[in-house]
Structure 1
Amino acid sequence: MDTSRVLRVTNVVLLLTAYQMHWFEKKSQRFRLSLPGVVNIFVLGVFYAGCFSQHFDSKSSLLIVLKNVSPFMFVLTRTQLFLGAKVFAYSVYSSVKSVGALNSLVESLPTRNSGFRKDEVIAYILLGSTFGTLFCFVLYISYEMKFELPPLEDAMIGLALFLPHLILSGSLRLYIVLAWLTRGQLKQFKNNAEEELSDNLIKEEDNVASTSFTISTKSSSVANLDNLKRKLEILGANFRFFFQSIQHSLIFLFAMNGNCLLGGIYSYTYYWNTWHVIFEDRKRRIFYAANASIYACIASDYICLMLVLFMMEKERMNFIKCLDFFLAKRNALSKRVRPLAKDITKVLKRSFYSKFDSIIPFNISYLSLMVFVQLLIIILVVMFHYLNDEILLLKEELNSKDN
């Protein structure tokens, strides 16, 4: 896997989605502020301001219908709008803030490895899976609309809700790719440590070589393991620093996803019961596709994130098991190598743990719990509104019968 190539492709994607204003220089292996990136953000900001203002057009037929059909859905739209405005501003700040931590982490990764391999293909899949899912839905919706553009005002209203989400999701993609590259470096460190300990173990068991050669071999093994321990400490510290720089972006994205899911589930519930009567067949299919795209894209992001978290934790545990295997052979390792193996184990156990504001651990278990709680709250809110509306309709029906 060529780390530089993966970072360059990631950088191009983040520039196109306006999450980054920096350009990755292949020679220096650093992200630096670029004029095209700044201009891109400025132009997009002006365009976003125009889209934002459309939500306050009192003559907009789309907003009038939305407010009349479902006031609660209108409130959710406004919530997403104002949350998106904050997100857009924070994304610019977060991109500038995280570049220092990003450069530090990149320095801990190898500049070049062997050619195009499976790990690099997986990195590109993780980077573009959500875009691929979204493209399929957009293509189908465009087909159903006979490739005709919607009214400009309606399109701008939709883009005001979508653009901040698209930009902020770049933080998640950046984390996923960097976590995957860190996992690859962790695997390389494990192979190096296993090789050094195996060589030391063989020399100790066979006792074939001369005394001078054995001493030089032990000294080399000690130096290599000590160097590996330092690199591992630096990698773990830089990865935590990088996570801390983008943790609030991930929290913002989690909140936006929650509001999108609430809007999607709420609209589908009411559409399935009542709203479908005001749609014709073609528009019904468009609604179903647009509604399903919300779940599909969010699920794609969460699945990629959980996959990376799982693979990284698996690699860390494999490293620890490998060291424990050699440490179990009490008399096989020299007195100078054994403490180093224990130190590396301690580094692995205390490093590569990330927490939101040093409180909530960021791992697959807690992430699954957060998603479950979020979905539970959304279901309860939708049920409350649905049952409340049904009770009101029942009261009106009973009153009409009494009259």
Structure 2
Amino acid sequence: MNYNRIIRASNFLFVFCGYQCQWFNVEDRKCKLNVVSVIYAILLAFWYAACFRQHFLDSSIFNFLISTIPILHTIIRMHLLIGLKTWLFVIFEMKHVTKALNNLIKTLPPQTYFSWCWEDIKVYIWLFSGLLINFGFALYIMIELEFRLPTLNQVMHGSALFLPHFALACSFKVLNLASLFARSELQSIHSKLNCDIKTESTSQKKTIESLTDNSQNSVELSGVPPQISGIAIQIPDLETLQMLVKRLEGLALATRTIDHTIQKQMIFLFLMNSLSLLGASYSIVYYKSTWHLILDESVGNCLYVFNVGIFVFIFWDLFSLCVVNYIFEKERNYFLKDVIQILRSKLPLEDDKRVLLRDVKYLLKNNFCMQIFFNMSIKWQTLVMINALVGLAISIFITFHYLDDNIENLETQINADED
């Protein structure tokens, strides 16, 4: 796996989304401030400020929402204000995220080859597939609009709402990047340990077979049962094992640092995702009930697809996080199982080596557990439960307001009939 190429590509995405203003230097293998990235971050911040201000000026869209659906206008304003706090939070967290990424990069071996492999392609798929999905929805909307460009006012309203979301969604990609790199390093360490065991166990197997044959011959001659003693399967030498344990400790510390750094961002992202799902659900319900009657067909389709795209984008990020973490956990458990099997076997290991193998067992068991929201492990059961609770709350909220609006409309119609 070419770590430098993957880090450079992901760093470009982080800078483009406003999640980082530090550029990755391949020679130093470190993310640090760069003039171009800093200027881009400043310009992006000014653009976001201008778009945020546009929401509080006179707008026909929001005047229509205030007069017809005030609760949706309130949801949008809440999303806007939380987005502002999120943007400021991302700016203050940039240095901590960059420091955590630099610590992870230090633990990775330098890669100088340029050939592509399937592992590299899988990393790019998990990192950039969400962006491609968004481009697919954007292309469909452009086709519906017959490639008519949206107005500047519409672009600014959308940017104010979703720029913080796109920036903070990169925290999912940081977790995926750490999990994929940790999995690759665990495979490398595991293969070095297993390679030596298999090589030496093969030679020992031949020794055991020869001794067994000799013992059987002695049984035939003297009638004494065979005794096999002094057989030891050698694991890597003490110096190599110490190097592997030190490498594993550095990797565990780097991944744990990234996991702790991302936790606060997960809470902000959870709030923004919940508000986005609430607004999208509300829009879809009202589009299905009334809006499709008053909106132009192409505009209505674009509105519907846009809100469906919010669902797809959020749940694809969660799906990617679950799958990547599952792949990582599978490799960790496989490595841990082999270490436990060595320790439980009757092999006559040296005390120093046994202590080091116990350290490996402890590191694998307690220091590579990725979490979300501080104490929740990243498992599909946990995320399904959280999203089910959010969906239930959204359903109750929308049902209440939808019935309330229908009751008001019915009362208005009855009063009009009486008049």
Q: TM-score, normalised to structure 2's length?
A: 0.87
Give matches, 1:140-219, under 5 Å. Answer: 140-202=140-202, 205-207=205-207
Cross-structure match for 2:222? none
1:259-313 superposed Cα distances (whole Å, 9 cap, x missing partner): 1111111111111112221112222221222122111111221111111111111
Question: Is 1:225 aligned to residue 241 of structure 2?
Answer: yes
Question: Is 1:374 aligned to residue 390 of structure 2?
Answer: yes
Return closer, same or farther for 1:203/1:268 CA change in 2, 3 Å cut-off: same
Give matches, 1:9-24, under 5 Å. Answer: 9-24=9-24
Question: Is 1:120 aligned to residue 120 of structure 2?
Answer: yes
Contact 1:110-1:185 within 8 A present in 2 as well: no
Shift of 1:71: 0.7
Contact 1:196-1:221 within 8 A present in 2 as well: no
Q: Distance in 1 between matches of 2:400 and 2:315?
A: 25
Return closer, same or farther for 1:326/1:218 CA change in 2, 3 Å cut-off: closer
Cross-structure match for 1:89? 88
Cross-structure match for 2:225? none
Question: Is 1:324 aligned to residue 340 of structure 2?
Answer: yes
User: 1:264 is aligned with what amino acid?
Assistant: A
Give the gaps of 5 or more residues in structure 1.
209-213
1:71-99 superposed Cα distances (whole Å, 9 cap, x missing partner): 11101100111111111111111112221
1:115-157 superposed Cα distances (whole Å, 9 cap, x missing partner): 3111100111112111111111111111211222223223211
Shift of 1:196: 3.0
Contact 1:201-1:332 within 8 A present in 2 as well: no
Return closer, same or farther for 1:308/1:69 CA change in 2, 3 Å cut-off: same
1:316-360 superposed Cα distances (whole Å, 9 cap, x missing partner): 111112223333432365555444333311211111124457433
User: 2:163 is aligned with what amino acid?
Assistant: L
User: 2:76 is aligned with what amino acid?
Assistant: T
Contact 1:30-1:106 within 8 A present in 2 as well: yes
Task: Decide which of 276, 282, 287 is 2:298's aligned counterpart.
Answer: 282
Q: Distance in 2 between matches of 1:80 and 1:285?
A: 23
Q: Secondary structure at the match of 2:359?
A: helix
Q: Which structure has the greater CA radius of gyration?
A: 2
Cross-structure match for 2:221? none
1:10-68 superposed Cα distances (whole Å, 9 cap, x missing partner): 1112122221111111122111111111111111111111111111113x111111222
Q: Distance in 1 between matches of 2:390 and 2:201?
A: 51
Contact 2:107-2:251 within 8 A present in 1 as well: yes
Return closer, same or farther for 1:201/1:113 CA change in 2, 3 Å cut-off: farther
Contact 1:201-1:333 within 8 A present in 2 as well: no
Shift of 1:226: 2.4
Give the gaps of 5 or more residues in structure 2.
209-229
Contact 1:3-1:113 within 8 A present in 2 as well: no
Q: Distance in 2 between matches of 1:220 and 1:355?
A: 33
Task: Decide which of 257, 266, 273 is 1:241's aligned counterpart.
Answer: 257
Q: Distance in 2 between matches of 1:187 and 1:377?
A: 42
Q: Distance in 1 between matches of 2:369 and 2:359?
A: 17
Question: Is 1:48 aligned to residue 48 of structure 2?
Answer: yes
Q: Percent identity?
A: 29
Q: TM-score, normalised to structure 1's length?
A: 0.90
1:352-383 superposed Cα distances (whole Å, 9 cap, x missing partner): 12445743334444333322222222222222
Cross-structure match for 1:211? none
Q: Distance in 2 between matches of 1:178 and 1:170?
A: 12
Q: What is the alpha-carbon root mean square deviation over aligned residues?
A: 2.5
User: 2:375 is aligned with what amino acid?
Assistant: I
Cross-structure match for 2:363? 347
Q: Secondary structure at the match of 1:23?
A: strand
Contact 1:205-1:332 within 8 A present in 2 as well: no
Contact 1:109-1:182 within 8 A present in 2 as well: no
Q: Distance in 2 between matches of 1:279 and 1:67?
A: 18
